[in-house]
Chains A and B, each alone.
Chain A
């Protein structure tokens, strides 16, 4: 199957700093990428949908100035958590697809710990 790579897999940052997570589709062109957040023992919560070359569409309640999403190419999307706080600590997962109705593949996720 298709491969979506996420980096870093684990990151620890200090409160108040920013951290960037990358999501890459390795063997297909991803016109759309999704970013999710998952708390322990809970389901995946969609944060935003990004289409290549366009501004991301954020879900209600997700601060777009805090969670900056960039989808500059067909193989790369980034999520930057700005001015991170301990409550931002979570498991962040991306997924990618070639377009509506196509299979959606997930990355391995990134554990963010803000201390």
Chain B
């Protein structure tokens, strides 16, 4: 089955700086790679996703890149704000969804 690794587990940045979270996956059949933001006590919220036929996708301050050959994908958040502080999960899916272990992002004002 699919195995997803996510790094770093914690990330602390200063407000306005960029944050990068990286994930690798094992199943080359995976074709959909979403990123979720989870705040304490709530369900994960989809923030951006990318499919295997696309290398990069951007939505305002958030971007995701995918390298199918290397089987890794990354989340980039620019101009970080305190409200970006949360746990971020990457996932890779074909028929089911496997999550990375999560990254706790703290943005210091």
Residues of A at the B interface (CB closer than 8 Å) are 1, 6, 34, 42-44, 46, 49, 91, 93, 95, 100-109, 111
Give Cα distance in the complex from A86 to B61, angstroms.
42
For B95, give its contact among A6, A43, A100, A111 (CB under 8 Å): A100
Give Cα distance in the complex from A91 to B51, angstroms.
29
| Contacting residues, chain A, for B95 (C-beta < 8 A) | 49, 100
- Indicate with 1 or 0, residue by residue over B54-78, a CB within 8 angstroms of chain A CB atoms: 0000000000000000000000000
Say whether A43 contacts B97, CB under 8 Å: no
Say whether B96 contacts A111, CB under 8 Å: no
Say whether A107 contacts B93, CB under 8 Å: no
By Cβ-Cβ distance, the 3 closest A-B pairs, closest first, are A109-B43, A108-B43, A106-B43
Give Cα distance in the complex from A103 to B101, angstroms.
20
Count A/B pairs, Cβ under 8 Å.
Answer: 51
For A111, give its contact among B41, B45, B46, B89 (CB under 8 Å): B41
Say whether B89 contacts A44, CB under 8 Å: yes
Interface size class of B (residues with CB under 8 A): 20 to 34
| Contacting residues, chain A, for B51 (C-beta < 8 A) | 101
Give min CB distance, A56 to chain B, whole Å: 12
Give min CB distance, B98 to chain A, whole Å: 7
| Contacting residues, chain B, for A100 (C-beta < 8 A) | 94-95
Q: List 24 A-B contacts (CB under 8 A).
A: A1-B46, A34-B97, A42-B101, A43-B89, A44-B44, A46-B98, A46-B99, A49-B96, A91-B41, A100-B94, A100-B95, A101-B31, A101-B32, A101-B51, A103-B34, A103-B46, A104-B34, A104-B93, A106-B43, A106-B45, A108-B43, A109-B42, A109-B43, A111-B41
